[in-house]
Amino acid sequence: MLQRSIAQSTEGGRPPHWKRGPHPWISILEDGLYAQTYPTTVHDEELLTFVAAVEHMIGSRFEPYAWIIAVDGLLHTNAAQRKHIADHVTRMQAHDARYCAGGGIVAATAFARGLVTAVFWLSPLPYPYRILGSIAEAESYAIDQLRLRR
């Protein structure tokens, strides 16, 4: 059973109830409930290994899952990195449409929320999502979406 908890800021690390996943930017809260957090400096090789880890982990999962995605670190990516992320989203689209219960998108600043809103307006995600201001709100939303699909 999913346990609702109050998440702390990811500044300086993941909240204590988040376990490290297959990549430093991926956390596992419970079976099927995952988080993505990004550093303020994203190196190409780290991004490539992150995308490969997500695609392996999620691509082999054939039951509902949900994400908490803290996007503020992605604001510092370059054009080539953003293209790589967009290609990853495209590759995962059919799988996400079928199995992803939802995503709580954390955009802590008004600028980040506006940017994410514009991106998703142009390229909508294939699953329900909300753009929220805190990890705790995103975690609550992701848990609720996952419960609806189980």
Give me the residue spans of the domains in the chain: 24-149
Angle at which helices 44-59 and 79-99 cross, to 10°: 10
**Coil, strand or helix at 7:** coil
Q: Does residue 29 contact residue 3 with C-beta atoms inside 8 Å?
A: no
| Closest of 110, 102, 103, 45 to residue 72, by C-alpha | 110
Per-residue pLDDT tens over the stretch 18-70: 999 999 999 999 999 999 998 888 899 999 999 999 999 999 999 999 999 99
Domain 24-149 has CATH 3.30.750: yes
Mean pLDDT of 71-91: 88
Q: How confident is the model at residue 114 (pLDDT cuts 50, 70, 90)?
A: confident
